[in-house]
Structure 1
Amino acid sequence: MARPAAVSPETIRTAVLAMLAEAGDTAPRSDARFRKIVSVRKLRARLGAGDPPRCHGISMRSRRKSCRRD
């Protein structure tokens, strides 16, 4: 069973449009420009979701073992 979304699609759209407006680029000319303005990490921070999980700063070798989805 999938978990419910933390925010609605409309909230995400509003946040993305606000980020573009703040950058002065309401219609970026390239995908690279869009990705520079709107990253997942920036969007999550703006919506209050924080950074994606990083397994609490453990090493990559340990991360592979402890952060797998089973």
Structure 2
Amino acid sequence: AATIALFGWSVFGGIALAAALVQLWRPRLVTFAVGIAFAGIALVLYNNIAGALAAMLLILSLARPGPATA
């Protein structure tokens, strides 16, 4: 029942988008894992736009350069 209520409010896509934006801002493994998990749940539960946008942002976050070493 809780999953259906959260699905109605598109919570899974919102969490995926929030995690993807945090991942772009401050990349961490935990935020990537949360983002990809909720993006997958959002895509399965027909929240396609938010889930796909979050997945795209997460893939884009992998293209960031690593920390500079001097």
Q: TM-score normalised to the size of structure 2?
A: 0.30
Q: TM-score normalised to the size of structure 1?
A: 0.30
The structure that has the greater radius of gyration is 1
Higher helix share: 2
